[in-house]
Structure formats: C-alpha cells, structure tokens
Amino acid sequence: MTTSQPVHPELREVGRRPFGVYAIIFLFVLFGAVAAFDIVRLRFGLPTTLLVQIAEFIPESSSLSGLPRLFFRDADVLVAINFAIIFVTVLTAVGLWFRQRQAWVSAMVLIGVGLVYNIWNYLEGTPIYLNMAIHVLAVFYLNERSVQLVFERRAPGEETQP
C-alpha cells in the first residue's frame, strides 16, 4: 500500500496561481506606484494639473510612504525611504510571483505595518478609508486558503503533488 500526499482541491491546476496571488501582486505594484508618486511630489512639487488631480485622489499620507513623515522632515531622507519602500514592495511582488514563502511573510509584515499606520491616522482624526479598505482586502487575500496553500512551508524533500 502506497501513501500519497493529499491533493488540495483549491490547487486545481499545477502552475496556476490563485486569483488572490494576482490581486496581492497588483496591490503591491499599486503601493509602489503611490510611493513613486510621492517621490515625484517631493522632488518636483506638483507642476501639472494631472499631478494635482492625482494628489487630490491619493492623499500624500495614503500610503506606507507617508509613515516616515511622522519622524523625518528632510525631503532627501524621505525620498531615500520611499526608494527603499518601492524596492521592498517590488521585491515582495516578484517573490509572490515566484511563490516564495519569504515573500508571503514580507507581504504580511508590510500590510500589517500599513494597517497600523491606517489605525494611527484614524485615531488622529484623519482616516483614509480607501487605503484602509485596500489593506484589509490584501489581508483577506493573503489569508485565503488557496493562497496559503501556495506559500505553505513544506518539509525538506517533500514534493508537490499534481
């Protein structure tokens, strides 16, 4: 009698990622874009009408890149921190694409920090509900069973079953 690994019904096709992984990757690319917009705003101001309209839609404190403003006022330091945030979010998105467990953990940490920042804003009387909803949606997808199965820790030598 042979023992085989249980097949998870949530992973129907080998090689396919669940929708939640695509959604999380999209959200991380969006976080990186907001941080890039913050760099443009810090470096060049808001010279065009389009940038002003984007700034009204996405307030400067709407992303994780707004968190360092609580501690630093120097624009050069904030730009460097935003570059680091962009690097980490892109690295996390790429890791998620390649199904690396460390990327899932990194995503949970980044989303957790973002949620803490959103709660801080809420308690300060400046809630940003859209950003809060995006972070909650990301947590929902990260904890979805089919996404967790993609990133679950496997014992050494254990192979995935088709």
CA angle centred on 133, ends 136 and 60, rounded to 5°: 115
Mean pLDDT of successive 10-residue stretches along the chain, which has 162 residues = 52 67 88 76 65 59 52 70 85 92 92 86 81 86 88 64 48
Residue 46 is predicted with a pLDDT of 58
C-alpha–C-alpha distance, residues 162 and 155, integer Å: 17
92: phi > 0 → left, psi -120 to 50 → alpha, else beta; which?
alpha
Residue 154 is predicted with a pLDDT of 63
**What's at 110, amino acid-wise?**
L
Residue 105 is predicted with a pLDDT of 93
Whether the CB-CB separation of 61 and 69 falls below 8 Å is answered with yes
Residue 108 is predicted with a pLDDT of 92
Residue 10 is predicted with a pLDDT of 47
Residue 128 is predicted with a pLDDT of 77
* pTM, full prediction: 0.68
93, burial (CB in 10 Å: exposed 0-12, middle 13-18, buried 19+)? buried
What does the domain layout of the chain look like in residue ranges? 19-149
Residue 71 is predicted with a pLDDT of 62
Residue 42 is predicted with a pLDDT of 66
Question: Can you read off the two tokens belonging to residue 21?
Answer: 């992984």
Residue 103 is predicted with a pLDDT of 92
Contacts of 63 (CB under 8 A, 6+ apart): 31, 34, 35, 38, 85, 114, 131
